[in-house]
Amino acid sequence: MQESWEFDFKLIDDLPVALGLGDLVEQKSKEIGIYLSYYYRPEGGLVEQVALKEGIVLKNATEGSLKVSFYVIYYNACLNIHSEDNTDEMTLSFEIDPERQKVKFTGPYWPQREPDGL
């Protein structure tokens, strides 16, 4: 499984890309949390409070990676589980499309096990 998500993002000539992406992560924290929750869905996890963890690494003017930190909330009423103290972090790669004024975040590849055959 590898998830990706696009956001509106306009490159501004006098604003560094890193600053613009940092602002985007702060403003779209809830939406990025939904995106990251897809990785924790099989275990019943929900991601909240996404924040930029480390500096942004640029490969070139429109591509690079960044690391975010967040809380993973696990809740299951049947098993009496409600855990809010799980912190995690993830490196996301990004690709900016200046013509479409979008940025695409792509998460890591997590292999999934196929169902067992009979």
% of the chain at pLDDT higher than 70: 87
Decide if 113 is inside a domain.
no
Provide the pLDDT for residue 29: 94
Which pTM does this prediction carry?
Answer: 0.81
Structural domain harbouring 68: 4-106
The H or E element spanning position 47 is strand 45-52
Q: How would residue 82 be classed by pLDDT, with cut points 50, 70 and 90?
A: low
**Residue 102, number of CB atoms within 10 A of its CB:** 14
Provide the pLDDT for residue 101: 92
Could you give the number of structural domains in the chain?
1
Q: Residue with structure tokens 């975040």?
A: 105
b/e burial code for range 18-38 (CB count within 10 A of at least 16 → b): eebbbebbeebbeebbebbbe
Q: Is the predicted pLDDT of residue 45 greater than 90, yes or no?
A: no
Decide if 87 is inside a domain.
yes
Decide if 116 is inside a domain.
no
The two tokens of residue 18 are 């890193």
Decide if 115 is inside a domain.
no
Top pLDDT among 84 and 55 is at 55
- Report in angstroms the alpha-carbon separations of 116 from 8, 14, 113: 41, 55, 9
Decide if 118 is inside a domain.
no
Q: What is the mean pLDDT of residues 96-102?
A: 92
